[in-house]
Amino acid sequence: MSKKRKVTSRDVAALAGVSRSAVSRAFTPGASISEKTKKKVLAIAAKLGYQPNVIARSLIMQQSRLIGIVMADWRNPFYAMMLKQFSEGLQAKGFQVILATVNKEQDTDDAIKLLLQYQVDGVIIVSASPSTMIAAACLQRETPIVLLNREASRIGASSVTCDAVDIGRRIARTLLDAGYERLALLRGDSDREAGIQETEVIEKSLEDQGNARIVAQEAHIVSYDDGRNAIGRLMKNRIKPDAVICSSDVTAHGVLDGALIDLGIDVPEKLGIFGFGDSAAATWGINRLTTVRLPIEEMIDMSIDILIKRLADPDIEPENIVMCASVVERSTVRKARAGNK
C-alpha cells in the first residue's frame, strides 16, 4: 500500500486561490491578512487536514515561538496554577511553552542550556536563579531572561518581584501584635542566597518592631510531609517555637496537621502558623491559613509583557519591577492582643 501524500501549504493555497504566503499569514497570530481570507484559508486547511510545519517555519523565520519556563518547586499546587496562567497568557500571544523543573542553581543553568538547544525565543525563571555566566550567554545570543519572584539586577536580566522587606515587616508585625515571641522559619528554597536574604529580612523586622526572635530554622522544607515532620522535630528542641513561618501553604498545612493530629497542640493559642501564597487550599477546613498573598496574576502578566518587549527590541534596558504583597489573616494566628497593636 502506497503512503498517502502529505497535504502541503501549496495544496491549501491552490484550492483557496491565494498565495502560499497568505496561507502562512493565516496561521500566524497578528499577521497582516483580511479576516475574510483568513477564515477561507483556515476552513480549507481544516477540510484537507493541513497543519503548518512549525519547525520548518521557525527555521525560515529564525523564531521558534517557544518560551522556556524554568520552575523550582513543581510539587506545590501554587506553581501548577502559575504554569497554567503562563501557558494561557503566552498562547494568547502566539507562543508555546516548554517546561523545565529544577532544584538548585546548577540545575537551573543546565535547564537553560537544554532550553537553548530547542531554540527558545526567551526564558522565564520562576523562584530560581541562574548563574551570571549562563545569564551572560543568554544575553549574548539575544535570548531574553525574566525572573519571577527573584531579583535579577546582578545578572543583567529583567525581573518581577514582591518587596521582600515589606513582606518580612508584615509577617513580623502580625505575629508580634498577636503576642508570639519564639519563631521558627521553614524555608523551602534551595537557592541559598535567597534563603539567607529571607532570614535576614525577617530577623531585621523582628529587631525593629519588637522582642520576638527566630529560635530555629530549617531549609528544603517543600512538601506537606516535610512540614508535618518538621514540626515534630521543632517541638523536641529545648527552646520550642510558639509560631512557625512557612515558605508555602503546602508546608504550612503539613505543620498544621502535625501540630493538631500528631502532637495535640492548640492552634493558634499555643502555636501560630503562617503560610505563603494564599492558595485555594488555604481557605479549606476549619483551620484556615493565615498567609501571604502575592499579586501573582499581575506578576505573571507583567513577566510576559516584559519578555515580549525584549523580544521586539533586544536593546532596551532590563526592567526590575517590584510589587506589594499583603497578609491575609485567618484562623492559624491569634488575633492582635490589646496593647500590642
pLDDT confidence of residue 290: 98
pLDDT confidence of residue 84: 93
Mean pLDDT of the chain: 87
For residue 112, which amino acid is it? Answer: I
* Beta strand residue intervals within the chain, DSSP E: 66-71, 96-101, 122-126, 145-148, 158-162, 182-186, 213-218, 243-246, 272-274, 291-293, 320-323, 326-328
Which has the higher per-residue pLDDT, 13 or 62?
13
Digit-coded pLDDT (tens) for 212-240? 899 999 988 988 999 999 999 999 999 99
pLDDT confidence of residue 118: 87
d(CA 94, CA 77): 26
> Distance between the two ends of the chain, CA-based, in angstroms?
83
Q: pLDDT band at residue 1, thresholds of 50, 70 and 90? A: very low
The whole-model pTM stands at 0.79
- Using a pLDDT cut of 70, give the percent of the chain over it: 90
Segment 42-66 shows an average pLDDT of: 77
pLDDT confidence of residue 261: 97
Domains of the chain: 9-52 (1.10.260.40), 63-163+296-325 (3.40.50.2300), 165-294 (3.40.50.2300)
Digit-coded pLDDT (tens) for 68-126? 999 876 667 788 889 999 999 999 998 999 999 887 656 888 889 999 888 899 999 98
pLDDT confidence of residue 193: 52
d(CA 248, CA 258): 16
Q: Are 259 and 324 in contact (CB under 8 A)?
A: no
Digit-coded pLDDT (tens) for 266-279? 999 999 999 999 98
Instruction: Check whether 15 has a pLDDT greater than 80.
Output: yes
Closest CA to 245 of 136, 168, 149, 137: 168
- Phi (first) and psi of residue 173, to 5 degrees: -60, -40
d(CA 70, CA 129): 10
Digit-coded pLDDT (tens) for 300-336? 999 999 999 999 898 888 899 999 999 999 999 999 8
Q: pLDDT band at residue 189, thresholds of 50, 70 and 90? A: low
Q: pLDDT band at residue 204, thresholds of 50, 70 and 90? A: confident
Instruction: Check whether 192 has a pLDDT greater than 60.
Output: no
Q: Are 126 and 71 in contact (CB under 8 A)?
A: yes
Which has the higher per-residue pLDDT, 165 or 209?
165
Instruction: Characterize 213-251 residue by residue with b for buried, 16 or more Cβ atoms within 10 angstroms of its Cβ, and e for exposed.
Output: eebbbbbbbbbbebbbbbbeebbeeeeebbbbbbbbbbb
pLDDT confidence of residue 44: 93
